Amino acid sequence: MRKMLLAALSRVLQGPAAAGRTAARVMVASRNYGDFASEATFEIKPCDLHRLEKGPGTTAVMTREEGLQYYKTMQTIRRMELKSDQLYKQKIIRGFCHLYDGQEACCVGIEAAINPTDHVITAYRAHGFTFTRGVSVREILAELTGRKGGCAKGKGGSMHMYTKNFYGGNGIVGAQVPLGAGVALACKYFGKNEICVALYGDGAANQGQIFETYNMAALWKLPCIFVCENNRYGMGTSVERAAASTDYYKRGYFIPGLRVDGMDILCVREAVKFAADYCRAGNGPLVMELQTYRYHGHSMSDPGISYRTREEIQEVRSKSDPITLLKDRMVNNNLASVEELKEIDVAVRKEIEEAAQFATTDPEPPLEELGHHIYFNEPPFEVRGPNQWIKYKSVS
């Protein structure tokens, strides 16, 4: 009885604000089971086509469950990148660090359209793809801080994260594209009906090795989607100043291409589904340009406002933000409530804070493990250190 009286007194003292929060939670819980639509159909922007008679459809169906999952995933990536920015400015993360906030619809849309057994390889702006391919936030942040619990044991850092069917994270501009074609060649060789998505930025699009790769992929009809994430600036140079032709989806010439709204997750998902079906049918490769935008600078050493204005960034945020676009669609079509999405936001922030705590307290890898993991499934051997008298043991 005493406990009941204390609980009642506590509710009275907390006042109407607490009662309002409780009522909101009850309202969300009650709406979860009957009041929401199970799915909705949306009009999406048509893709620009190159050497294709027919492209992806201009409508997309999204279920409530899909929408909630997309929202949570994009919000997690956004918050993870903002936390990475904070840790970098505190000098807890060091070295190269390229953030992905603003481009979340690209990696989440791609993952929604392919199978877990398909393959992905990207450039150094890789945190989002690392997460969508299945690596946890705590492993990603621990890798950024160089800790033993990181997904590459603290030895890869921002640009070199890997997991099953995800090959990085590559620091050499454009070099991941021929590697992706090699993965696609393995897909074709083993006959498992798998594809490879090889991504690069507009800044890498003028690399000669990319055109060599196009040629070989077309000759051998490799099941590869070449995706140019065009975020409008290669480092600090706008695409108009860097490229004689900014129609990146036409760069394959003899390879069909698509230009897609990369700020709309449904546009990305439907386009990649179309491209994946095209490749699996044995038609060879396809080039895709995702028109997107990064909110941060090229890397953490770039403030991002010396070659573009704050007003430009704010305009993109206000008119084209991928998370806001998805949120508005879900709320306006009765797939979710504002309160429900706010609860997801709170849960995501809690997850990020817990991951950051782990990433700043987990121990660094010991020096004796410096030579580990050079090869997979090989007997241990010695690796020479900085001079011939220092040896490290390498264990697979």
Q: What is the pLDDT of residues 265-274, one digit of tens each?
A: 999 999 999 9
Q: Which amino acid is at 242?
A: A
Statement: residue 56 has pLDDT above 80: yes
Range 313-318 average pLDDT: 97
- pLDDT-based confidence at 147, cuts 50/70/90? very high
Range 334-349 average pLDDT: 98
pLDDT value, residue 223: 98
Task: Supply 245's token pair.
Answer: 């032709």
* C-alpha triplet 26, 28, 33: angle, nearest 5°: 105
Task: Supply 313's token pair.
Answer: 């960034």
Q: Specify the range with the lowest mean pLDDT, choosing from 30-34, 302-306, 330-334, 380-384.
A: 30-34
- Give the per-residue SS3 of the chain: CHHHHHHHHHHHHHHHHHHHHHHHHHHHHHHCCCCCCCEEEEECCCCEEECCCCCCCCEEEEEHHHHHHHHHHHHHHHHHHHHHHHHHHCCCCCCCCCCCCCCHHHHHHHHHHCCCCCEEECCCCCHHHHHHCCCCHHHHHHHHCCCCCCCCCCCCCCCCCCECCECCCCCCCCCHHHHHHHHHHHHHHHCCCCCEEEEEEHHHCCCHHHHHHHHHHHHHCCCEEEEEEECCEECCEEHHHHCCCCCHHHCCCCCCEEEEECCCHHHHHHHHHHHHHHHHCCCCCEEEEEECCCCCCCCCCCCCCCCCCHHHHHHHHHHHCHHHHHHHHHHHCCCCCHHHHHHHHHHHHHHHHHHHHHHHHCCCCCHHHCCCCCCCCCCCEEEECCCCCCEEEECC
Q: Specify the range with the lowest mean pLDDT, choosing from 155-169, 297-311, 373-387.
A: 373-387
pLDDT value, residue 388: 87
* CA–CA gap between residue 394 and residue 396 (Å, rounded): 7
Single pTM value for the model:
0.91
pLDDT value, residue 8: 46
pLDDT value, residue 31: 54
**Higher-scoring residue by pLDDT: 7, 247:** 247
Statement: residue 28 has pLDDT above 90: no
Paired strand residues for 261: 291
Statement: residue 27 has pLDDT above 70: no
For the chain, give the percent of residues with pLDDT over 90: 89
Q: Specify the range with the lowest mean pLDDT, choosing from 97-106, 239-248, 380-389.
A: 380-389
